[in-house]
Structure 1
């Protein structure tokens, strides 16, 4: 009995002590919070050179925190952030597990100002070396785990975004010298996971009214949001014009995402992204506004420890055309392995050409077609074994016909037409490609040696392929990746012709797509014969500074007609097509061709012998030995060549 009594007294004493401690902690909770906050803010201030101040920090209850009069000012910079008041209610049991989850938030008077004056910005501490060095020294190298990283980021986002709350008088400003963008939100309301807000955007003299609605469900791990302008107007993205010289507008933007945690640390993201009435203008893309009626991506992304995969169930809707892309990126021992594939079975041809964005494919606008198409694409790049790179691209046709040309008659090369040569994007010469031009040379009036030398240098299979050489593109990709720059293009003569005859001089991905489509149309529909295409090519090719066509080239270098060229002269002219403005680099100071041209001469001479244009014995005697007798001789006198001529490999 005495033993039980002693135990009861002991338990009561311990319980009383614990109760007193808990009461003490509860009563001094705000003091403890301020102590912890002061230590953290002092560390941040010292690390990033900031002044962080608050008027009051209070823990109203075990799960409620209140802050008044918060400000963040970088040293000798403009104020970055001010906040009048915020009241946050947290989930208690989540806090006990070390997780941060906001249940309710009330915020008023938050102002964030990103200001840059000349080269000094109040946000440059975000990119300071101190931060990078600190992280590098304090964080050990860890193995990449993409599913864990993304799940952690999403947990943070869901934790900070509450189920209920209201943010009032939220203002974000970006200012650079005299230009600015100001975003103002009078009230952002979240009620039962659903949110809505009016947004006022002012950029210099332009004012817009937007509206955002959506749903964020923490339990379902789901996010939906939609953005549009009021009054049936378009949204014009701010800052883009000033930063990139582009204008981007749209009617509505929608995005949704749902997260699933699978077995074996796998993560799956499902969702949809949709835009309507998209208009883009940038002079590097097109001289006209690019318009997309509707675009939609319904995606499934699978994320593993070392892999990111866009599943083939993903659907892309692009105006009238729909397809299922597959993308996979895997990192093994610091080396990436990328795979991309598209397989689209037979579909109406006009769905493709009717879906091309207006303003982007100017030559094909308005084109009408019939028949069916099917497309296969595969690109597989293992950076640990670049030689194993795979590239496949094939557009098949069934009963295909062009019923009506668009803005450009794609068969114009079949007859005489006017060609315009450009220098740095500016037209420098225009001349007809036909009998009315005094320098025009029919194909049968050009030396067979020159014709074959150029073909073997530029595109030996020209008369046998349909505009594309996938193996040449594959080899060019491998070489470009090895040297880490764009050194080869894998272009055929047809591709070079289309680029020069039909397209603008802006180098971008869209132009390459338009080039590929026009090449396919010309070759598939036989809009121009191979013989005529090669004739055009030799009559528009640049052979030196402002020297266009084989007639001018023959006279400029050798005072000859194209039919009179020797084997050595033909091989020389073929060698300078890739870099015509630098033809002097092929010559030594004495005006003779450099010795390093021997490899190129031997290569082309061997191919001429294989084609039966010269004998094997003659091929063995061919050397880089020519006599320049035309006007080009004046350019060689007294000039020191800058570097050697392109080698056979560079051709």
Structure 2
């Protein structure tokens, strides 16, 4: 029995040795057979031709390929590779896992081409028919965001080599007539440290960059930095200027990302990112170059099955400012976003010294004393937009302005020159004060018009500090529902600041500067509420090149603003949002449209509540608007054209 077992063991050992020897001797043909079948499947699925001149296995753990090319059908060549040798880790390979230990390439060239809507890389974004997640009974996924991050990082750190040498690597992007080329003479990854120079060419722009950092697959850590390799030069970002009309340049960028030990079913990512000397220029943001000396974030990112969260341990440094933001995005049906910032009192001058140059033009150089604190709270549930919550509160603590910046924010307190714009072009310039014969103090403007406009535009103007949180919250919810800027939610102070100090572009930068100027004017009482309302009624547009209550009263009714009737006052209030389209509220016989009547009755009831008419008059009110003067001619011409 023992003899038979011994003979059996010898045969098993001999079979194993012979099988191993056979596999070793036939490893090349077997590799090519597997590769060819895989290439055939990829070609059929994605419409690409993959070819090679030579494919070998110098050893059981190394693969060498020469003359590799990838060409999408009917498109430009995407990839060419003169040669590459990849060495694999043996033990993971025995378990069926691919883990790369070393890569050596020569002459890798990738060319991304897009002409109009056609590109040679669009197949990369086609679905493979497989999904990382499967819906569960609650509408969630069996593999949530934590699982996706773990899977993606697992693949990334498994495939990234411990050592690499890449010689003569070229990445080229051609979009229409613009060509951008990145050339690395030699990229070296040695003992977890990588380093390379990059030559960048785009049109007449030339740049020499240097990248370096650390890549540790064992601890799952990536660090990197980028700066110009030419002394005194900056990194000028290619591609952005020719395609988006923007210029972006900076001194250096640094980043790090580490995968921490998971907590429960959550993934934790920790790291930082820093950019120094950033400059951005785009006409839609500012006519001047926007400069940011230093921006840094030390972040802690959490991911669970259905959420991704920027933990409040995150700290953002912005020139001399720092704060801890909290942001959470949770997917339950549709997205639910929450965010908050709480910044305890800090020196007020830190804010004004940190504002990016060229962005907050009117407060640039402002000097202040005292302290400021700030709180932001936002809750947006796209499943229930009517539950949206938003509050933003900047508070001063012994705050005062020592010296104004580029603009005199108190200019509205005295007579000043105002310029009206249309499509960013100046159309009228006039004085706002007694020197202008069309200027009317509040005492010469009918209380009916004053109250009708206020109740229509900003009913609590004399009681709030420049912001009407309820209106902003409602406007934000409405805009999100419509997917565009459909409602502004601006207070009268905000409208004044926009018209007197700022351009009319609707963008985040302008809204931030607008909010800061409003806060400064209101909190420091730079202009009284009464004077602001007086300015407002004398500069707002009421029709084609019609500005102010005096011009509007003459244009529509041929009378002074002190003599307006209830109907006339409400009519003028009603057309402020769309002054050039006043004709749209009339029928073909010049009578008011039915859809206007409810608005008139609402404002009439509010006038009654303020004591400007009796409740009985308000309940029986029937608007009677008889357009006269120049407006009648415009209206008649429109009616003739339409008929």
Q: How does the TM-score come out when normalised to structure 2?
A: 0.96
Partner of 1:363: 362
Please give the residue correspondences for 1:7-46 in structure 2 after superposition, counting only pairs within 5 Å.
7-46=5-44
Q: Distance in 1 between matches of 2:370 and 2:131?
A: 63
Q: Distance in 2 between matches of 1:90 and 1:354?
A: 54
CA gap 1:348/1:418 in 2 versus in 1, 3 angstroms = same
Partner of 1:184: 183
Q: Distance in 2 between matches of 1:519 and 1:504?
A: 15
Partner of 2:262: 262
Partner of 1:348: 347
Question: Paired residues, what number?
Answer: 636
User: Secondary structure at 1:261's aligned position in 2?
Assistant: coil
CA gap 1:362/1:139 in 2 versus in 1, 3 angstroms = closer
Alignment RMSD: 1.8
Deviation of 1:640 after TM superposition, in Å, equals: 5.3
CA gap 1:192/1:138 in 2 versus in 1, 3 angstroms = closer
Deviation of 1:505 after TM superposition, in Å, equals: 2.1
Q: Distance in 2 between matches of 1:641 and 1:304?
A: 65
Deviation of 1:471 after TM superposition, in Å, equals: 1.5
Deviation of 1:136 after TM superposition, in Å, equals: 7.0
Please give the residue correspondences for 1:194-213 in structure 2 after superposition, counting only pairs within 5 Å.
194-213=193-212
Residues 423-455 of structure 1: CA deviation (Å, up to 9, x unaligned): 111111111111121211111100000000000
Checking the alignment, whether the CA contact within 8 Å between 2:454 and 2:461 is kept in structure 1 is yes
1:99 aligned to 2:97? yes
Q: Distance in 2 between matches of 1:262 and 1:524?
A: 47
Range with greater deviation from structure 2 (459-468 or 256-265): 256-265
Q: Distance in 2 between matches of 1:177 and 1:568?
A: 59
CA gap 1:491/1:197 in 2 versus in 1, 3 angstroms = same
Runs of 5+ in structure 1 lacking a partner?
644-651
Query: Which residue of the other structure, out of 42, 53, 56, is the alignment partner of 1:55?
Result: 53
Partner of 1:295: 295
User: Secondary structure at 2:552's aligned position in 1?
Assistant: helix
CA gap 1:136/1:417 in 2 versus in 1, 3 angstroms = farther
Deviation of 1:520 after TM superposition, in Å, equals: 0.3
CA gap 1:263/1:374 in 2 versus in 1, 3 angstroms = closer
Q: Distance in 2 between matches of 1:27 and 1:545?
A: 88
Residues 297-324 of structure 1: CA deviation (Å, up to 9, x unaligned): 0111111111111111111111111111
Please give the residue correspondences for 1:131-280 in structure 2 after superposition, counting only pairs within 5 Å.
131-132=126-127, 135=129, 143=141, 145-230=144-229, 231-280=231-280
Q: Distance in 2 between matches of 1:474 and 1:139?
A: 35
Partner of 1:537: 536
Runs of 5+ in structure 2 lacking a partner?
none
Deviation of 1:385 after TM superposition, in Å, equals: 2.7
Checking the alignment, whether the CA contact within 8 Å between 1:284 and 1:507 is kept in structure 2 is no
Q: Distance in 2 between matches of 1:453 and 1:314?
A: 48
Checking the alignment, whether the CA contact within 8 Å between 1:350 and 1:369 is kept in structure 2 is yes
Q: Distance in 2 between matches of 1:220 and 1:641?
A: 79
Residues 381-439 of structure 1: CA deviation (Å, up to 9, x unaligned): 22223232221211111111111111000000001111111111111111111112121
Partner of 2:517: 518
Checking the alignment, whether the CA contact within 8 Å between 1:585 and 1:641 is kept in structure 2 is no
Checking the alignment, whether the CA contact within 8 Å between 1:584 and 1:641 is kept in structure 2 is no
Range with greater deviation from structure 2 (317-326 or 628-637): 628-637
Partner of 2:506: 507
Deviation of 1:548 after TM superposition, in Å, equals: 0.8
Checking the alignment, whether the CA contact within 8 Å between 1:587 and 1:641 is kept in structure 2 is no
User: Secondary structure at 1:254's aligned position in 2?
Assistant: strand
Q: Distance in 2 between matches of 1:116 and 1:389?
A: 41
User: Secondary structure at 1:337's aligned position in 2?
Assistant: strand
Q: How does the TM-score come out when normalised to structure 1?
A: 0.95
Please give the residue correspondences for 1:540-619 in structure 2 after superposition, counting only pairs within 5 Å.
540-619=539-618
